[in-house]
């Protein structure tokens, strides 16, 4: 990776350019938004075969020290202490007001070590947060010499199993350290598309060689940020800065499922993390807002920032993400609504270019998740 320049590049930059990618600045990096195939076809290819995503802009952090699992648990409303070795769990950094600072994936490496994958725009602040909160007893390493690939889609397991047959035995949210063609790979069966798939962490020095190996398989195509967003939108997956932010608790963002039972009121390890009083109150009393899916009427996209009104013209919410869902061949949106308006009997409208577009509240996800649980 280039360092010291205002906009950085990932180890795959030359491969993207050679593949004809349209490059854009994103979270401080030059990233591919699309390839000659086009966003819609990249999206469909991922749903049918295997899409290859460069996600090396994400932060990869190793956390180690005595009782490190208890230490991290003090910063997230999630059960980390009981996380088995080589298992991965979704977690959230919260602030003192109960808001979400970032969402992340945590893998227990064993031997008092954890591997964290955090969002690109938050990785420096997450690193600083960990250093400040955990102190000098713990080693916090943000490794900038690693690459990260995501291979997503129903054929992803077939592609990787051709290189190492043991991969097909992995299940959703498990991890494995293996060597493929003399390349050390740390693999988790996870991803951000709603499809079965894997994320592969490896040395930046091996990045091009490994990506080229995957691309030899005719079922694999490069996929850019454009399709990554439409895929996660269809899957109803939250995006930091959209469905998640520092002003709303996980409960207000409809992430109750991510808040471990053992950390809830009356449980064995109740609270004891930043903002626990707010989050536990929201769990007990119910939140003022919720995240819901919307199906707008017609073909005009209802994108983030669009105001949602009731039939009397009173604002009741705002769209957090929106666009076109190629799998459904419909425009789709995710919105934050006042809780009392999340029932389907209310007639709601989105304001787009001074027009009122009727929207229907639907249950997320828009497209069924296809994670492999064994």
Q: Are 356 and 313 in contact (CB under 8 A)?
A: no
Find, among 173, 300, 304, the residue nearest to 238 by Cα.
304
- Residue 220: CATH number of its domain: 3.30.1360.120
| Residues 166 and 54 placed together within one structural domain of the fold | yes
Q: Cα(60)–Cα(144) distance, rounded to whole angstroms?
A: 8
**Mean pLDDT (whole number) for 35-39:** 98
| Residues 30 and 177 placed together within one structural domain of the fold | yes
Whether the pLDDT of residue 66 is over 80: the answer is yes
Q: Are 67 and 83 in contact (CB under 8 A)?
A: no
Please report whether residue 19 resides in a domain.
yes
**Mean pLDDT (whole number) for 16-34:** 98
pLDDT, tens only, 308-333: 999 999 999 999 999 999 999 999 99
- Residue 362: CATH number of its domain: 2.40.30.110
Indicate left, alpha or beta for 233 from its phi (over 0: left) and psi (-120 to 50: alpha). Answer: alpha
Please report whether residue 275 resides in a domain.
no
| Residues 293 and 374 placed together within one structural domain of the fold | yes
**Mean pLDDT (whole number) for 208-229:** 98
| Residues 198 and 333 placed together within one structural domain of the fold | no
Whether the pLDDT of residue 30 is over 70: the answer is yes
**Mean pLDDT (whole number) for 291-298:** 98
Q: Cα(60)–Cα(58) distance, rounded to whole angstroms?
A: 7
pLDDT, tens only, 100-155: 999 999 999 999 999 999 999 999 999 999 999 999 999 999 999 999 999 999 99
Residue that is written with structure tokens 């994936």 in the block: 105
| Residue 289: per-residue pLDDT | 98
Q: Cα(302)–Cα(157) distance, rounded to whole angstroms?
A: 35
| Residues 225 and 320 placed together within one structural domain of the fold | no
3-class DSSP state of 360: strand
3-class DSSP state of 211: helix
| Residues 51 and 189 placed together within one structural domain of the fold | yes
Domain boundary among 234, 257, 275: 234
| Residue 6: per-residue pLDDT | 80
Mean pLDDT of the chain: 97
Residue that is written with structure tokens 């250093």 in the block: 131
Q: Are 372 and 172 in contact (CB under 8 A)?
A: yes
| Residues 227 and 305 placed together within one structural domain of the fold | no
Percent of the chain whose predicted confidence (pLDDT) is above 90: 97
Whether the pLDDT of residue 68 is over 80: the answer is yes
| Residue 5: per-residue pLDDT | 52
| Residues 298 and 184 placed together within one structural domain of the fold | no
Please report whether residue 257 resides in a domain.
no
Structural domain range at position 315: 288-374
| Residues 224 and 303 placed together within one structural domain of the fold | no
Please report whether residue 172 resides in a domain.
yes
| Residue 16: per-residue pLDDT | 98
Supply φ then ψ for residue 303, to 5 degrees.
-95, 175
Please report whether residue 164 resides in a domain.
yes
Q: What is the pTM of this model?
A: 0.96
pLDDT, tens only, 83-104: 999 999 999 999 999 999 999 9
Overall number of domains in the chain? 2
Question: Tokens representing 17?
Answer: 């350019």
Whether the pLDDT of residue 1 is over 70: the answer is no
Please report whether residue 227 resides in a domain.
yes
Please report whether residue 186 resides in a domain.
yes
pLDDT, tens only, 160-217: 999 999 999 999 999 999 999 999 999 999 999 999 999 999 999 999 999 999 999 9
Please report whether residue 299 resides in a domain.
yes
pLDDT band at residue 262, thresholds of 50, 70 and 90?
Answer: very high
| Residues 300 and 228 placed together within one structural domain of the fold | no
Domain boundary among 234, 250, 278: 234
| Residues 222 and 360 placed together within one structural domain of the fold | no
Q: Which helix (H) or strand (E) holds 207?
A: helix 207-215
**Mean pLDDT (whole number) for 297-317:** 97
| Residues 209 and 314 placed together within one structural domain of the fold | no
Distances (CA, A) of 108 to 105, 117, 348, 374: 10, 12, 44, 20
């Amino acid at each position: 990776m280039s360092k010291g320049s205002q906009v950085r590049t990932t180890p795959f930059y030359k491969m993207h350019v050679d593949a004809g990618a349209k490059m854009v600045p994103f979270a401080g990096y030059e990233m591919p938004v699309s390839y000659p195939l086009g966003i819609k076809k990249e999206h469909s290819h991922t749903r049918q075969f295997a899409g290859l995503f460069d996600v090396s802009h994400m932060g990869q952090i190793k956390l180690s020290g005595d009782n490190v699992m208890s230490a991290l648990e003090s910063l997230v409303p999630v059960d980390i202490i009981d996380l088995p070795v080589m298992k991965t769990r979704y977690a959230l950094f919260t602030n003192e007001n109960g808001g979400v600072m970032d969402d992340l994936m945590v893998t227990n490496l064993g031997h008092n070590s954890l591997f964290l994958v955090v969002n690109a725009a938050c990785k420096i602040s997450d690193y600083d947060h960990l250093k400040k909160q955990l102190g000098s007893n713990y080693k916090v390493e943000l490794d900038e010499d690693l690459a990260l690939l995501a291979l997503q889609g129903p054929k992803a397991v077939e592609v990787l199993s051709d290189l190492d047959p043991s991969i097909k035995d992995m299940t959703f949210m498990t991890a494995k350290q293996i060597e493929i063609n003399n390349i050390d790979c740390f693999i988790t069966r996870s991803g951000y598309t709603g499809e079965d798939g894997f994320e592969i962490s490896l040395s930046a020095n091996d990045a091009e060689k490994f990506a080229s190996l995957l691309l030899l398989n005719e079922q694999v195509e490069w996929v850019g940020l454009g399709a990554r967003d439409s895929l996660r939108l269809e899957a109803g997956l939250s995006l930091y800065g959209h469905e998640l932010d520092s002003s709303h608790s996980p409960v207000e963002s409809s992430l109750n499922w991510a808040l471990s039972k053992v950390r809830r009121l009356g449980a064995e390890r109740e609270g004891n993390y930043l903002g626990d009083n707010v989050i536990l109150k929201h769990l007990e009393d119910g939140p003022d807002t919720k995240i819901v899916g919307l199906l707008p009427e017609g073909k005009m996209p209802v994108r983030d920032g669009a105001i949602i009104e009731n039939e009397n013209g009173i604002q009741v919410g705002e769209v957090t993400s929106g666009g076109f869902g190629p799998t459904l061949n419909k425009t789709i949106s995710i919105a934050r609504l006042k809780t009392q308006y999340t029932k389907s009997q209310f007639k709601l409208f989105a304001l787009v270019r001074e027009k009122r577009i009727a929207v229907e509240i639907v249950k997320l996800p828009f497209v069924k998740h296809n994670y492999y649980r064994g």
